[in-house]
Amino acid sequence: MTVTHRTHSLTSTQRDAWVEINLSALERNFKKLQELIKTKIMAVVKADAYGHGAATLCPILQRLGVDSFGVATIDEGIALRQAGIKIPIVILGATPLWAYESCFSNNLTITIYSIEQINQLEELAQKNKFKIPVQLKIDTGMNRLGIDYNECLKTITDLTNSKYLELKGVFTHLSDAKNYDFSKIQKGRFDKACQSMPLLQKHIANTYAAINYSDFRYNLVRTGIGLYGQEFNFLEPLISLKGRITRIQKVLKDEPVSYERTWTAKKDSIIATVPIGYADGIDRKLSNKIFGLYNNKKIQQVGAITMDQTMFDISELKDPKVGDVITLLNNELPVSSWAEILNTISYELICRLKIRLPRVYTRD
């Protein structure tokens, strides 16, 4: 493994705990998806590339030939421009009226999801004498953002004929991609709504749909979680979570560890502490339910996970030392195992890890 560089978190620069991001795995994942899907890819890099660091990952994806990037906010789009991104960036979420000019000055494509937006944008574009790139979002069953699929034909016509708005594409959002029957209903609504626009960029598929439903690919798909190697066995997780042992101590039989005495030693034990806690994104409800790795040997996490520290039973290890590394997440300990315990999704958990943990970028 080669370390390429290290970046700071929002609050920490000097930690004995960190997230490692494998850039070689990113490249392999993109190429695997590209070969499988055989259509253009929009890389979804919301929430700082799901906590992986968009400013580092996006230039690599741009070099590999990704078609465009999807972000949630204007600030995310501007950050990509500042990182040297030249290809289209689409703001998939809501854009406030007062921020439109920032979109224009940074060449960001705005998503249209209401008639009011069209009027506002046309007025501003006419005033400033420039044409604004937009994409139209159609609501086919997500019931969040978008113009209703039954009411969008006139909107499509107005956008197509607009002197000031340049319609670049049209898309919708699957509410339950793993449910093929309802996804098919949404696709039917989408096809009916945009049947008069055969040449426009169309996209409906997230990573799951892009991989599993070939007829959902159109001429563009949106891949997010797949690029980061989560939730699909043929892809490689980019992320590992590691910390160095800060203290090793003997705990006698029947003595508790950590708050609320949720774990008690059944025999004299050796306990290691690492400086990672729930403030770093490790949910407290994982206490006593997860494992770490020490030199490829699995060890049990014990006691309540605290704000800044987590403890492991290392009684069976040979000669562990303060400063040695314990791994909490990697290919053998996937974040999906945490998600299953917590009854949530991997997306949520990997996004949490960016708050305080520095990122170390590597290549294998």
Distances (CA, A) of 255 to 261, 264, 280, 310: 9, 5, 27, 17
Can 154 be counted among the known catalytic residues?
Answer: no
Collapsing DSSP to helix, strand or coil, 133 comes out as: strand
Distance, CA of 105 to CA of 102 (rounded, Å): 5
Structure tokens at 296: 């490829």
CA distance 107 to 71: 13
Residue 76 Cα to chain centre, angstroms = 13
Spatial CB neighbours of 55, under 8 Å, sequence gap ≥ 6: 79, 80, 82, 83
Catalytic residue among 253, 259, 297, 321: 259
> Helices in 316-358 by DSSP H: which ranges?
335-342, 346-352
Q: At what angle do helices 74-82 and 54-64 cross, to 10 degrees?
A: 70
- Bridge partners of 322? none
Q: Is 347 a catalytic residue?
A: no
328: nearest Cα among 236, 239, 247 = 239
Catalytic residues, which ones?
46, 259
